[in-house]
Amino acid sequence: MVWNRALKDRLSAESGAVTRDWGGRLPVAIIYANSYHIGMSNLGVHALYRWFNSRDDFVAERVFWEEGPQSTSGALSVESRRPLTDFSALAFSVSFELDYLNIPGLLDAAGIPARSSDRDESYPLVIGGGAVLTANPLPVAPFFDAICVGEAEAILPELARAIKETLGQPRQSQLDRIGAIPGVYVPRQKASVKRQFVSNLDDFPVGTAVFTEDTEFGDMFLLEVQRGCRFSCRFCLVASTFCPFRYRTLGSLLSQAEAARKYRDRIALVGPVVSEYPQLVELLRGLRGLDYNLSVGSMRVKPISSEVLEELVKGGVKSLTIAPEAGTPQLRRSIGKGFSDDDILEAISKIGEAGIRQLTLYSMVGLPGETDDDVRSLAALVLRCKTEADRHHVVLSLNVSAFVPKAHTPFEREPMTSAQDIDRRFDLLERSLSGKGVKVKPDASGWGEIQAALARGNEKLAEVIEKLDKVSLVGWRRALKGAGLSMEDYARRRFDEHEPLPWDFISM
């Protein structure tokens, strides 16, 4: 069959995949509810895959959810092309709210009832985890038997033991045992739950485990440097769901990088704010010593170190991203970003002087308290940045997305700006910058509103997700209306100051 051959081709194009004998081992499917290309760009998938396959008593295989002909494949595993019903447990790694929309379809294609209440022990245990499920799993909670709240490494040892020891027992006994594990939320039991995290990251190396060209970062080894953040921007999920700020030791990062050098000659450092790594210069030098070309994600505007920039340029970095987030110091202060316009211009100057030739600015529109004047100020700031960038022959572009309120952030009660206002502000920004030599890339706002609804939703949204005949904006609106719900209920509404929040049962 076509899809079977496609999976085989995919596996043969990879390095580092593990194809183990199933005999005597408990099979776990690591699932990413989106395409192979997107899923393989996600370090959570690699971390789970490595964790289970490093144990003698488990075998883990990967499953992705493709559009097109492969969606009829019954969601087969990449490694042995087995259906999901052959596995004892399905471990979903979920990083984006919009991937919720694929979960019931994926289970359905595998012949597994979407709702936990419709499944007994003859079906695999369906378990979820990831940052968005940690913040608020409710819109998809009815689909899962259990949800890990916090970092998988802190929960998996006990969870894996419980899965093994309750194999074959009635589903209720399995759930009773699993629900007693700290950090595990069993939706059918509806108890409160406390987020779990590990104290020493070095105990759990995280980096690319399987190499393939077919990802966003196909030519790189991805290496997780740190978790959490020492800043507390009011819109940001990292500060709450991944705190406290922790980082790996220099020695452990370099030894991971050395082991992966045979696969790739380019390395990307992954973390919320890589420029905050305390020994960044030493790390970059060490990686260059291993003959790696370097890549980093976003740098913080302030402080930005010329020494770090110099190392990055020596390591072949040609482009960087910084995030002013908003156009005025007042608005930036209100979201927890305390740097001035001059700090941004100084950062651009340093970046240009170091020899970086492409710079992306990242900003949001629709922030709480924002007005059209703030958007005009953002355009004016970008033009000042452009002048500074031109002085250093740096090509400037601007990525803009809509602010999306998220559970467990200081802005969790704020409404999402309406799609019309977001579109108008995108338009205002584009018109203000048109013909000025700055490429503006706005994110589609319609999906932002749906993301906000899912981020702050309750279990009623499970019905909407389940009834989606097609993952599209029109399909969503139709299903939402069919369930008697509206975007006002979730995305556009300000949650009252004293109103209990659906996700209060999770403590961070």
Q: Which one, 90 or 233, has the nearer CB to ligand SF4? A: 233
Using CB under 6 A as the binding rule, whether residue 269 contacts ligand SF4 is answered as: no
Q: Which one, 205 or 410, has the nearer CB to ligand SF4? A: 410
Contact (Cβ atoms closer than 8 angstroms) between residue 351 and residue 320: yes
Using CB under 6 A as the binding rule, whether residue 272 contacts ligand SF4 is answered as: yes
Element at 250 (helix H, strand E): helix 250-260
Q: Which one, 54 or 232, has the nearer CB to ligand SF4? A: 232
Q: Which of residues 408-467 bind ligand SF4 (CB under 6 A)?
A: none
Q: Which one, 337 or 456, has the nearer CB to ligand SF4? A: 337
Cα dihedral value 318, 358, 260, 262, nearest 10 = -50
- Report, in Å, the least distance between residue 335 CB and ligand SF4: 9
- Report, in Å, the least distance between residue 223 CB and ligand SF4: 18
- Total residues at interface with ligand SF4 (CB under 6 A): 9
Q: Which one, 127 or 270, has the nearer CB to ligand SF4? A: 270
Q: Which one, 109 or 225, has the nearer CB to ligand SF4? A: 225
Q: Which of residues 358-377 bind ligand SF4 (CB under 6 A)?
A: none
Q: Which one, 53 or 409, has the nearer CB to ligand SF4? A: 409
Contact (Cβ atoms closer than 8 angstroms) between residue 426 and residue 475: no
Contact (Cβ atoms closer than 8 angstroms) between residue 112 and residue 119: yes
- Report, in Å, the least distance between residue 273 CB and ligand SF4: 5
Provide the 8-state DSSP code for 487.
Answer: H
Three-state SS for 323-371 is: EEECCCHHHHHHHCCCCCHHHHHHHHHHHHHHCCCEEEEEEEECCCCCC
Taking alpha carbons only, the member of 246, 374, 391, 396 closest to residue 320 is: 396
Q: Which one, 362 or 505, has the nearer CB to ligand SF4? A: 362
- Report, in Å, the least distance between residue 196 CB and ligand SF4: 20
Among 11, 29, 160, 273, binds ligand SF4 (CB under 6 A): 273
Beta bridge partners of 31: 63, 92
For residue 4 the two structure tokens come to: 């079977």
Beta strands in 22-124 (DSSP E): 26-32, 58-64, 89-93
Site string for ligand SF4, 205-244 (x = CB under 6 A): ------------------------x-xxx--x-xx-----
Cα dihedral value 419, 216, 249, 294, nearest 10 = -110
- Report, in Å, the least distance between residue 245 CB and ligand SF4: 9
- Report, in Å, the least distance between residue 323 CB and ligand SF4: 7
- Report, in Å, the least distance between residue 339 CB and ligand SF4: 11
Provide the 8-state DSSP code for 265.
Answer: S
Tokens 């929960």 correspond to 155
- Report, in Å, the least distance between residue 232 CB and ligand SF4: 6
Cα first-last separation, the chain: 47
Taking alpha carbons only, the member of 60, 100, 58, 115 closest to residue 82 is: 60
Query: How big is the chain by its Cα radius of gyration, in Å?
Result: 23
DSSP 297-321: -EEPSSS--HHHHHHHHHTT--EEE
The Cα 126–Cα 481 span in angstroms is: 28
Q: Which one, 73 or 240, has the nearer CB to ligand SF4? A: 240
Q: Which one, 336 or 475, has the nearer CB to ligand SF4? A: 336
Q: Which one, 101 or 239, has the nearer CB to ligand SF4? A: 239
Q: Which one, 193 or 308, has the nearer CB to ligand SF4? A: 308
- Report, in Å, the least distance between residue 138 CB and ligand SF4: 23
Contact (Cβ atoms closer than 8 angstroms) between residue 406 and residue 237: yes
Query: Within its chain, how far is the Cα of 196 from the centroid?
Result: 18
- Report, in Å, the least distance between residue 37 CB and ligand SF4: 25
Using CB under 6 A as the binding rule, whether residue 331 contacts ligand SF4 is answered as: no
- Report, in Å, the least distance between residue 332 CB and ligand SF4: 11
Q: Cis omega (within 30 of 0) on the bond before 272?
A: no
Sheet holding 319-325, edge to edge: 298-299, 319-325, 358-365, 395-402, 439-442
- Report, in Å, the least distance between residue 325 CB and ligand SF4: 8
Beta strands in 403-472 (DSSP E): 439-442
Residues whose CB falls within 8 Å of the CB of residue 419, separated by 6 or more in sequence, listed in order: 445, 446, 448, 449
- Report, in Å, the least distance between residue 271 CB and ligand SF4: 9
Q: Which one, 182 or 278, has the nearer CB to ligand SF4? A: 278
List residues binding ligand SF4 (CB under 6 A).
229, 231-233, 236, 238-239, 272-273
